[in-house]
Each structure stands twice: as C-alpha cells, then as structure tokens.
Structure 1
Amino acid sequence: MVVGDVSTGTELAIIGAGPGGYVAAIRAGQLDIDVTLVEADSWGGTCLNYGCIPSKAMISATDVGHDADTAEHMGIYADVKVDLGQMVEWKDGVVDQLTGGVEKLCKANGVNLVEGRAEFASEDTLRVVHGGEGQGSETIEFEHAIIATGSRPIEVPGFEYDGEHVLSSRDVLDLEDVPESMVVVGAGYIGMELSTVFAKMGCDVTVVEMLDEVIPGYEDDLTTPVKKRAEELGIDFHFGQRAEEWTEAEDGEGIVVTTEDEDGNTTDFETEKVFVAVGREPVLDTLDLEAIGLEPNEDGRLETDDQTRTDIDHVHAIGDVAPGPMLAHKASKEGQVAAEVVAGEPAGLDYQAVPAAVFTDPEIATVGMTEAEAEEAGFDPVVGTFPLRASGRALTADDAEGFVRIVADEESGFVLGGQMVGPEASELVAEVGLAVEMGATLEDVAATIHTHPTLSETVMEAAENALGRAIHTLNR
C-alpha cells in the first residue's frame, strides 16, 4: 500500500543535515523557532559520515601504526600489522557515535526530523519524497527555508565511480583490504591526506596532478614539507598529467590508467585501484530551483548576502552551496547566523578569521591574511617566524619539520593572519584566529605566558620574532 501525501507546516524548513544544516536547526530550536530538518541520506551529512570525521579517524589510526613501525631510532621496535577491516569498523563506530549525537541533540532542541529528498514546489512549499517502496511523499509549507545540501565528489570524464576500480573519497574510506597499488588523481588536500593514509599502510601510491604542485592555493613553503614527507613515504608524483582513461589490464590483474601531458604524450600506470580526488561540486540539482526562480552562479553556487539570504529574502543558503571555501566550520557559522537572522536577531557574517587546515603529514593551517594579501590590502606588514626545529616540544615529539608564521600591521601591531606547517597546526591556528578576531596585537600574543614545553609556545615566539625580540631563534 502506498502512503498518500501528508501536508504539514513549519516556520523554518532546512534542507540538508550536514554541519551547516544541523547546526542551523539546533540554533533555531534554541531560539524557539518551529523548525523542520530534512535529510536524504544520513544525519551529519557528508562531513560526519563520509568526509571530515572518517578521514581523520583513518589518519589517526595509520599514524599510530606508522609511528610505532618507524621508531627504532628512539629505541622502540615493533612489527606492526594493519587490519584495514577492523580499522574501518572502529572508524564506523566513531562516526555512528557522532551521528547519533546529532540526532539526539536535534530532538532535544525540538527539531522535527524528516527523512527524504526535498525539492521546492513553490516559494513557500517543499515536496519531500521518502525513501523506500510505498513510502509516499510529504508536502511541507514554510515561512523561511535554508538550503544546506552540501557538495559531492567531482567525476572526471571516463572515470565514473564504480566503487570497485574507480573510487570516490567515500569509497576509499570503506575499503576492507589495503590495495597493493593505487593511482590517485589529484594532489589537492583530499588526495594528499588519503594518499598519505594508504602509503603508511604499505600501499604503492602514485599521484598524478594536472598542475605542477601539491595542494594548490597554499604558499610553496607550506606545501614543500608535505611533498617531501610524502616522497619519503614512497609516494610517486607525476605533475602536468591529465587523467584520460582507464582500461582493465590485459592479464586481468588490475587496471591501467592513462594520462596525457600538455604536449600530447601519454603515460600508462598499472595499478589495482584508481582514486579520483579532483575536488567537490555543490549539490543544487536535486532542489528544482526553477520552481522558486533561483539560479546558481557560474561557480554552481547561490549568491548570498552577509546574512545568508539569497535573492529570495526568506530563502537562505549556507555551506558548500554558498560562496566561499568548502569548510565544515564555515558552514556551521553560516548556519548559526541564518537561524539567528530568521529569529530576527542582529546577526551577520564576518569572514576575516576563517581558518583552513589540511590534515596531511605534516599538517598545514592558515587564517587571515598572508604577507602578500596584507600588502595588497594596503598594510605595511611585519612578519615573524619560528622554526619547529627550535621547539623543545617538537623535538621531544620527534616531529620538528615546519614553522609557525604570524603576519601583523607594523604601525599598529594588529595581528592580520598566520600560516603554519607542522604537527598540530590545525590546533595551533586557533590562537592566531582569535587574535585576528579580537583585534589583538603582537604585543598581546608575545606578552601572554605560554606553558613550557608546548607547541603553542611557537606562536608566542613568532610574535616575539616579529617584534625583534625572540629568545629561541635569531631575530629578523
């Protein structure tokens, strides 16, 4: 029996329960808004289920094994065995705990949860198709809506994901056995993070990249240590190569990936799997935006103002479908702002201190302005740097590759940004982000007593270096 259409109403309808959508829903519930959250796949979205969380779990697990297996110089000897199936089972347990927490928090804050795929029927109506045979559909009338449908992996022509030979980032995190070899198409942050994971498990990894560098968009001195460490792990790089096609190997063992350079020369790579990691694209094609007269821009996103409103005032867009970097924490902040705007609060977005982190080995993290960006913005920047080889904590952790850099306005001393590469960079960047957000000066950071010995001291030392009075490194 097919269940007929059910019609309900809500003050705020949110499409997508990722880190933007579920945060918006919880904040709306806290503000006593009647809110309905619609999700087509899993609570927590891609980030919690198939991206940020599972990949970091795999990174942590493989780091444990690799560190134990390469610690002879510290007097530690181990014969490490990796059971990928068990590792994935542990990873899935972490994911389940977090996604279950999202569902409980939403319900505790009065959020009405609806499972199904939502599309617009009009400017004030959603149609939700429920999964499963005979489940029917539902019509939801709303006063306000937030689009938070996130993004998906980009497919390369000729490399459609099949989950067996051609893998997406979702597929690669669910493998039960370590492949003997893998070609990774793309040396961006996703490709580099997961290339490192599999190299540390003993997989023979080859990375092919159209451009001539790893992790494009970051300064060379940040990415060079990452490439160096990857090469030490045995990762083989081929730059200036476009992936053209793949075929099954003649002997039936594995596949052959063919690439082409700008001169038309082709190269064949024999491998067991190919993992395509060329980026992500916004998901808007499921929403029937024509029904409400919205159209994505040339980047495939919806233009928004500083209160997350689209061209239709009562329809908001946040996260990967809105302009800006595809970052979970950006989506969460936008979700909070969107909910507060719907509630009539004086909320708005300020992107001057949005951090970004790459969880490679070593990690990269940035926030605010680089020196070049500060100059372009009209500042006279002063820069302080502290090398991790001068950090007692980095040396005692046997991980002293990299540096911390802080950028400030020389006249006022205000901190404008920071860049760092090294262990726990993703954690260290928060202090610089706070400094930018609150308008702190170099003197504020340098005068703050930091615990010794810690990695956080490197931020203080970088500030002191910018002031010309660093103790544990030569001053500029």
Structure 2
Amino acid sequence: MVVGDVTTGTDVLVVGAGPAGYVAAIRAGQLDLDVTLVEKDAYGGACLNHGCIPSKALITATDVAHEAAHAEEMGIHADPAIDLSGMVGWKDEVVSQLTGGVEKLCKANGVNLLSGTATFVDEHTVRVSHGGEGQGSETLEFEHAIVATGSRPIEIPNFDFGDEPVLDSRQALSLTSVPDSLVVVGAGYIGMELASVFAKMGTDVTVIEMLESILPGYDDDLTRPVKQRANALGIEFQFGYTAAEWHETDDGIRVVAEPADGAAADGGTATGDAGSDSDDADDPLELDAETVLVAVGREPVSDTLDLEAVGVETDDRGFIETDSRARTNVDHVFAVGDVAGEPMLAHKGSMEGQVAAEVIAGEPAAIDYQAMPAVVFTDPEIATVGLTEADAEDAGFDPVVGQFPFRASGRALTTGESDGFVTVVAAEDGGYLLGASIVGPEASELIAEVGLAVELGATLEDVASTVHAHPTLSESVMEAAENALGRAIHTLNR
C-alpha cells in the first residue's frame, strides 16, 4: 500500500462505467450488494460518449437533411444547409442528458462512484489513481470484481491518431466543419456508417477495404442494397487495398494504399465497375483528401489493469475469456462487454453485466446468445438475429425460409424507402423460428419481434397468425413467416 493511501472495502468492484459496467453496478445495487464503480473518463463509456449514441445522432441528423434535399417526387423542394458545429452541439446535448442520467441511476441504486484509473494489486485489492496533479490514489479491497473496461479503436502502422489529419471514430464525431474530401480506411460497420454520414453532408468519400466487399461477415444479399445506396451517394470504393502511409500535400494529404497480401485488387468504383484506376492492379493507389478516418476495428482495453496481479488470463488478442456466467479463470473475477470478446455490442455487454451481478448475488443466471441481435446503422439498416439458413443447415436442421420484399410493403412505399427485405428461417420440424435477417427501413426496430420469437420458441404459425397493424413495416415480418408457410398474400410464394 502506498503511504497516504486511504483503504476502503466493497462487496463488488466494477471497473468501467460503459453499458456493461454501469448496468452490472446498478443490478448489483438492486440485489443489495455494496458496489463501487470506478470510471476514469465519463459515465456511459465509449458507447454513450463517443460511439453508439453520438454516431446515431449524426446519422439521424444527416438523414433528415438528405431526405429533405431529395424529396422532389413527394412534392417537396428544399436545399437544406448543414451547420456541422450546430449539429455536433445538439449531439453533445443528447450525450450529456444520457450520461447524466446514468450517474443519477447509479446513485439512486446505491452505487458508490469513484473517479480514477484502476490497477490490480493482488487477488482482492485494487489501486485507484485519481487524475490531476496532487490528486493521489486510494486502495480498495473487494470480494468480487467485474472488469468492464471496453475497447478502443485499432491504430494501423503510419497512421497515428495523434496526427491532426488522421481521425479515429471519436474524433470524426466531433468535427465542427465538413471536410471537402475524406478517405475512410475500413468498410466495416463503423467505416460504412460514418462514410454515409459525411457523404450526406457533401463530402467526397473514398473507402479503402483490404477484403473484396463491404461489411465482412454479412451475406452479400444483405450488403448489396447498402453498397448500391453508397454508390448513389457518390461513395467510391477501392477493394483489395491496405492503407500504407500518408503525407502532406499543398492541398491536404495524400494517402498511399497498397494491394493487400493475397488479395486481388479490383479497384471497385462508385458505380460498382471493376478495374483499377492504375495501369497495373499491383501498383499502389494514391488518394488525395483533406483528412483520413481509420476504422479498421476495435481492440480490448485489458492492458491497463495489471491483470497478472489478480491472475486473470487473456487470449492472444487481449480479450478476457469467460464462461457462460461471465466468470474468468479466477472464480471471483468476472469480465463483461467488449473486453470479454466478440460480438462487441453494447446490448450484449449489458446482458453480461446483469448476469455477472446476479451470479455474484447467488442467482441462477447464465448467458444465452441464441437471440442476440446485431445491427448495422447503415443506409439502409441491416439487422440479424439467431441463425441464417446456412447456420441452420450446419447445425443439423432442414430449414424452411420465408422472405418478403419491402417493395411490396405499402408502408415502406409511403416512406420512400422500399429497398431490402425480411428473411425468416425456421426449423422444418415444428416450424420454430431460428433466426432472421433484415435489410431495409427500421431494420433495427423490426428485428426485436423476431428476437422475441426466437427467445420464446415461437413457431412460424405463431408469427403468421399474429395480427399486425396496417399499414406498418412490421407486417413484413408476418408476411415473411406466411411466405415460409406457402401462404403469403402480398408476395409470390416460394
């Protein structure tokens, strides 16, 4: 113990106040445990402050402007001007309201809040260093610990986030002026969401991706409408390349991209045409821009905790391995959220946080990922839950599949957003819902119905015979179930 430290004790130590950590702390408080929540930055973590919430705020705002500017067929003629500084100010107000709410909820549930950086000293002790000169530190003894330190953007060689023209997602969400041109490195969900945001502001956007398609991990039929919409927005793609370096020019910067190892660079353009802009597909690309956004993924924040002192093990990527009860290899230490591995989803972390708190309190809780939804807030949105048809076949099912296109939905047509479809997958034996994939308007909201059906073991008949209000987008889920049963009314049956 450091001389001058104050030593206190707690039943449950939670490190990190993101969606996993603060939910774990609140749930533990509800279960009458003495809880201390340590946070070094801001309540709500990266999700509320620098990720999920601010990005969705800017997605919504730029959608409003874009839709207003392209609503001539509805008889609306407008030329909205974007004040990015004002937009970011509104976004910050939303964030402040939510983070302030998290702090109030923690206090209302008896959670002790402690500001600082936590490092483990031994199996039952942690030291919390307070920020600022002369702030010192204190020692905390705990019975159980929940690690919820989250994740951070991955840096790539030669692209230091400390360099002014190189942005991570957090910095991109705080810009106060619209860049004329932007190179986005990475066509995953963060890269594609922000590429669309800036394209709708009028920025010339080029996306570099080392693989051969956007949104790796999602089926082509789901990503195709997103790629087509991106093309329509003027976003250009260069597939099969990796960003190698950048340097300053008289007008901004030049990003140099080289063919990815083992990848055939196709140089796909905004119109989806194949062929490289260079004479030789093996030549580097040189892309001029005002700034560059690096969005190649996120990595766990596990290297700041001195986990060796408490005996917790990580895998070769730094993720903390856990069991179905969120427990690490050390019985009294738990890990939840991004630091505990894929999928790195806020709602997944919240669920794990609740389970960890309940296990510590002696409840028979366990983690079940069967009905865990995943959403990409691109244009249009993509949402999935449960098994795909291929997953179901691999699991030994002989699945039946139903699909309903949004172009056949009256409500979708009245919104002007009719690209995409709903696909449901069910087990042939009994017709139990196994999963769904949706690409289209409000996919993030529609997926909840199928998630509930999967969680409850509902059948195709259950969904198909549930009366859905008309005209709504949710009718598309019902129609997809009816299509799987061979009795859809508003689309041709398979």
In the TM superposition, what is the alpha-carbon distance from 1:293 to its structure 2 partner?
2.0
TM alignment of 1:263-302, pairs within 5 A: 264-302=282-320
The answer on 1:339 being equivalent to 2:345 is no
What is residue 348 of structure 1 aligned with on the other side? 366
In the TM superposition, what is the alpha-carbon distance from 1:4 to its structure 2 partner?
3.2
What is residue 213 of structure 2 aligned with on the other side? 213
Aligned partner of residue 19 in structure 2, secondary structure: coil
What is residue 135 of structure 2 aligned with on the other side? 135
In the TM superposition, what is the alpha-carbon distance from 1:295 to its structure 2 partner?
2.4
TM alignment of 1:64-143, pairs within 5 A: 64-143=64-143
Unaligned stretches of 5+ in structure 2? 261-280
- Matched-pair contact (CA < 8 Å) for 1:204–1:234: yes
Deviation per CA, 1:103-160: give whole Å up to 9, x if none. Answer: 0000000000000000100000010000011000010000000000000000011001
Aligned mate of 1:360, from 371, 374, 378: 378
Aligned partner of residue 42 in structure 1, secondary structure: coil
Deviation per CA, 1:370-419: give whole Å up to 9, x if none. Answer: 00000000001000000000000000000000000000001211000000
Deviation per CA, 1:235-285: give whole Å up to 9, x if none. Answer: 000000110000001x2x210000001475211001000000000000000
What is residue 225 of structure 2 aligned with on the other side? 225
What is residue 457 of structure 2 aligned with on the other side? 439
What is residue 390 of structure 1 aligned with on the other side? 408
In the TM superposition, what is the alpha-carbon distance from 1:303 to its structure 2 partner?
1.1
After superposition, the Cα gap between the structure-2 partners of 1:3 and 1:73, relative to the gap in structure 1 and judged at 3 Å, is farther
Aligned counterparts of 1:240 and 1:428: Cα–Cα separation in 2: 34
Q: Which amino acid aligns with 1:172?
A: A
Deviation per CA, 1:36-67: give whole Å up to 9, x if none. Answer: 00001000000000000000000000000000
In the TM superposition, what is the alpha-carbon distance from 1:324 to its structure 2 partner?
2.6
Runs in 1 of length 4+ with deviation above 4 angstroms?
none
Aligned counterparts of 2:24 and 2:301: Cα–Cα separation in 1: 18
Moved more, 294-303 or 73-82: 294-303
In the TM superposition, what is the alpha-carbon distance from 1:162 to its structure 2 partner?
2.3
The answer on 1:330 being equivalent to 2:328 is no
What is residue 9 of structure 1 aligned with on the other side? 9
What is residue 450 of structure 1 aligned with on the other side? 468
What is residue 30 of structure 1 aligned with on the other side? 30
Q: TM-score with structure 2 length normalisation?
A: 0.95
The answer on 1:261 being equivalent to 2:279 is no
Moved more, 223-232 or 161-170: 161-170
What is residue 432 of structure 2 aligned with on the other side? 414
In the TM superposition, what is the alpha-carbon distance from 1:163 to its structure 2 partner?
5.8
The answer on 1:459 being equivalent to 2:477 is yes
Aligned counterparts of 2:79 and 2:158: Cα–Cα separation in 1: 41
Aligned counterparts of 2:310 and 2:17: Cα–Cα separation in 1: 21
Aligned partner of residue 20 in structure 1, secondary structure: helix
Aligned counterparts of 2:282 and 2:308: Cα–Cα separation in 1: 41
What is residue 183 of structure 1 aligned with on the other side? 183
- Matched-pair contact (CA < 8 Å) for 1:163–1:171: no
Q: Which amino acid aligns with 2:386?
A: G
Q: Which amino acid aligns with 1:291?
A: A
- Matched-pair contact (CA < 8 Å) for 1:196–1:361: yes
In the TM superposition, what is the alpha-carbon distance from 1:344 to its structure 2 partner?
0.4
Moved more, 315-324 or 458-467: 315-324
Aligned counterparts of 2:202 and 2:369: Cα–Cα separation in 1: 40
Among the aligned pairs, what percent are the same residue?
Answer: 70
Aligned counterparts of 1:44 and 1:372: Cα–Cα separation in 2: 37
Aligned counterparts of 2:285 and 2:22: Cα–Cα separation in 1: 45
- Matched-pair contact (CA < 8 Å) for 1:355–1:365: yes
Deviation per CA, 1:160-216: give whole Å up to 9, x if none. Answer: 102620000000000000000000000000000000000000000000000000000
Aligned counterparts of 2:318 and 2:484: Cα–Cα separation in 1: 41
Aligned partner of residue 407 in structure 1, secondary structure: strand
Aligned counterparts of 1:465 and 1:266: Cα–Cα separation in 2: 48
- Matched-pair contact (CA < 8 Å) for 1:3–1:135: no
- CA-based RMSD of the aligned residues comes to 1.0
Deviation per CA, 1:288-346: give whole Å up to 9, x if none. Answer: 01112222112321111111000000000001111330000000000000000010011
Aligned counterparts of 1:453 and 1:335: Cα–Cα separation in 2: 38
Q: Which amino acid aligns with 1:360?
A: T
- Matched-pair contact (CA < 8 Å) for 2:208–2:241: yes
- Matched-pair contact (CA < 8 Å) for 1:3–1:136: no
What is residue 275 of structure 2 aligned with on the other side? none
In the TM superposition, what is the alpha-carbon distance from 1:79 to its structure 2 partner?
1.4
- Matched-pair contact (CA < 8 Å) for 1:446–1:461: yes
Aligned counterparts of 2:282 and 2:309: Cα–Cα separation in 1: 45
- Matched-pair contact (CA < 8 Å) for 1:11–1:142: yes
- Matched-pair contact (CA < 8 Å) for 2:180–2:203: yes
Aligned counterparts of 1:333 and 1:445: Cα–Cα separation in 2: 25
Aligned partner of residue 58 in structure 2, secondary structure: helix
In the TM superposition, what is the alpha-carbon distance from 1:3 to its structure 2 partner?
10
In the TM superposition, what is the alpha-carbon distance from 1:34 to its structure 2 partner?
0.1
Aligned counterparts of 1:3 and 1:62: Cα–Cα separation in 2: 54
- Matched-pair contact (CA < 8 Å) for 2:303–2:318: no
In the TM superposition, what is the alpha-carbon distance from 1:6 to its structure 2 partner?
1.2
- Matched-pair contact (CA < 8 Å) for 1:362–1:401: yes
